Amino acid sequence: MYIVLIGCGETGSALAKHLTSEDHEIVVVENNEERAKSLAESMDALVIHGDGSSTEILKDAGIEKADAVVILTRDDNTNLTICQIVKKFDVKRIVARVNDPSKQDLYISLEITAAISPIAAIVSYFKNSITRDRGRSVVSIGKGKAEIIEVSVTNEALDCRKIKDIGMPSDALIGLISRDGEVIIGSPGAILKKGDLLTLISKTEATKDVITLLKGD
């Protein structure tokens, strides 16, 4: 893929290096001159010093052929402006960093591919690590109203029973079953076994009941 990263601090730098290691073609746009120089010397990517909200700079970065654009500056007004500009080039995938979680609705209203709030994600991880020790929260979604979690089946009463017969709360569903290196789609007729690792999507308010069911206590 041809991917343009706009704003390249620590997160952007780590992402760029990861993507280049997977043979994606990466172009970085960085407004800080010293930072741009340092990035150019430390990664295998084209680094352009300039303002990511400038149409000319974006064209220099190859925006017209980009498969994806990732917007990572630390200013939401800048990010929102860049999102609007990039949309005019019909880029298929636009992902933006949300610095102030209260502004996430503004990003969502632009109908971009994803608006990611590092602050909200970190708070969610810490909260779940502190308050929940029987299921592992993978990510919080829907402004914290739902989450993706991983839970091991230890309830012996569920061994060899079909998902549709175990009484899952209506506000949760089993997406994947991981067993002995295999991955099984969590269809209603799929059979659970003790020791399975399940990946679920659950409304946050239903998560406790889901874990109680699968753990058996």
User: Dihedrals φ, ψ of 119, to 5°?
Assistant: -65, -50
Quick one: CA dihedral 153, 159, 162, 168, positive or negative?
A: negative
DSSP state of 132: -
DSSP secondary structure string for all residues of 144-199: TTEEEEEEE---GGGTT-BGGGS---TTEEEEEEEETTEEEE--TTPBP-TTPEEE
Q: Which of 46, 72, 71 is nearest to 61 (CA)?
A: 46
99, burial (CB in 10 Å: exposed 0-12, middle 13-18, buried 19+)? middle
Q: Which of 138, 135, 151, 139 is nearest to 197 (CA)?
A: 151
User: Dihedrals φ, ψ of 169, to 5°?
Assistant: -55, 145
Q: How far is CA 191 from the centre of its chain?
A: 29
Fold category of 2-116 in CATH: Rossmann fold (3.40.50)
Nearest-angstrom CA–CA distance, 110 and 101: 15
Show me where the domains of the chain are located: 2-116, 121-215
- List per-residue pLDDT tens for the chain, 217 residues long: 999 999 998 888 999 988 998 999 999 999 999 999 999 998 889 999 999 999 999 999 999 999 999 999 999 999 999 999 999 998 999 999 999 988 888 998 999 998 888 877 777 667 666 655 456 666 767 767 888 888 899 999 999 999 999 999 999 999 999 999 899 999 999 999 999 999 999 998 898 899 999 988 6
User: Tokens in use for 123?
Assistant: 């708070």
Is domain 121-215 annotated with CATH 3.30.70.1450? Answer: yes
